[in-house]
Amino acid sequence: MAETLRELRTAMIWAAFGLGLVLATRPVWSFLLFGPNFTLEDLLSLRCFGLPT
């Protein structure tokens, strides 16, 4: 019983670490996975005024 609780605690620590890693790196992988999220204002700015500097 104690061995099972120890393994469960270790698994929960690793799961929390993995979840924290995924959430901390969300801005990077969401951009790579879903692509850029341009708004209409951004697109009009690029079309009318060129690339922002």
pLDDT digits (tens, 9 = 90+) for 5-34: 999 999 999 999 999 999 999 888 888 888
Q: Given this model, what pLDDT does residue 36 score?
A: 77
- Whole-model pTM? 0.58
Q: Given this model, what pLDDT does residue 52 score?
A: 54
* 3 neighbors 9 (Cβ within 8 angstroms): no
Summarised one tens digit per residue, pLDDT across range 30-46 is: 888 887 777 777 767 76
